[in-house]
Amino acid sequence: MNNKIVFVWINVLSVFIFITHSYAAWQTTINAKRDDSQPYVTIGISETPDSKAAPPEPPDFKCFMYIESSIDSEEKLKKDIQQQDQCNYQWVLAINPHGVGIPDPLVCTLSWDSSQLGPGSFQLIEGKTLFGNVVVADMKSVNSIDIAGKNKYYYYSIVNQPGLDNLIYIFQVLAGFTDTNTIICSDIIADHKIQLDDGIFILQQIAGMVP
């Protein structure tokens, strides 16, 4: 019994470290580059959302990029820090890899610092929805990708899934509580924080203390 208690509390500590880290604020820059054009945007999550309008296209630009606002698709952003109240986060990037010049397709490089990405998985998906072609399956395993095209905007989505639902579901499967009395990510972050009774309930399930 003592060994089981020690094992449970080691896992409890790991769970709370994971959950606390999952909701830590973070931000990073996404960079584009072709010749002397080096636009960048800033994405992230925080308790307080923050945004900054994108500047207009500079004359004779070689590539350009902005974030399409999730609130108003006509609003172009240079910075989009989203609020910590979602189970999934999405940033729609509008990228013109060509700029002014010859009509033939040209290539710009999109890059990021994978060590600065927040908790969970990050994918780069073609288009404005979650159902487009996956261009980069794991943005934490690579740091750049080349994007080719003409003088127009192409849309790519960065999708972040912190993964709390999967973690909680695994523990509830082990405890035998998957049909009723389950807790999901949206329950935990409804008030932008982890409720103590939610944590206690999950830990009781793990320890086999829930009747």
Does one domain contain both 16 and 49? no
Q: Measured between alpha carbons, how far is 209 from 211 in angstroms, rounded to an integer?
A: 6
Question: CB-based burial of residue 11 (10 Å sphere; 0-12 exposed, 13-18 middle, 19+ buried)?
Answer: middle
- Lowest mean pLDDT, pick from 18-22, 160-164, 206-210: 18-22
pLDDT for 18 beyond 80:
no
**Most confident range, picked from 23-27, 42-46, 85-89:** 42-46
Is it the case that residue 152 has pLDDT exceeding 70? yes
Do 56 and 154 sit in the same domain of this protein?
Answer: yes
**Beta partners for residue 144, in sequence order:** 111
Pair 97, 185 in one domain: no
Grade residue 158 by pLDDT with cuts at 50, 70 and 90: very high
Taking the CA of residue 156 as centre, how many other CA atoms within 13 Å lie in the half-sphere pointing to its CB?
A: 22
- Higher model confidence: residue 169 or residue 34? 34
In terms of domains, do 173 and 109 share one?
no
Say if residue 7 is in the same domain as residue 35.
no
Q: What are the phi and psi torsion angles at 94 (to 5°)?
A: -105, 120
Q: How far apart are the first and last CA of the chain?
A: 18
Total domains in the fold of the chain:
2
- 40 with 140, same domain: the answer is yes
Q: Are 37 and 122 contained in the same domain? A: yes
**Shared-domain flag, residues 153 and 174:** no
pLDDT of 5 > 50? The answer is no
Residues in the chain, overall count: 211
Same domain, 86 and 153: yes
18-27, 112-121, 143-152, 156-165: least confident range: 18-27
Distance CA 126, CA 146 (A): 13
Same domain for 147 and 117: yes
Task: Tell me which of 16-20, 28-32, 114-118 is least confident.
Answer: 16-20
**Same domain? 168 vs 88:** no
114 and 187 within one domain: no
CA distance readout (Å), 159 to 143, 163, 173, 197: 15, 12, 27, 30
Q: Which of 146, 161, 176 is the last residue of a domain?
A: 161
Model pTM score: 0.72
198: containing domain = 2-22+164-207
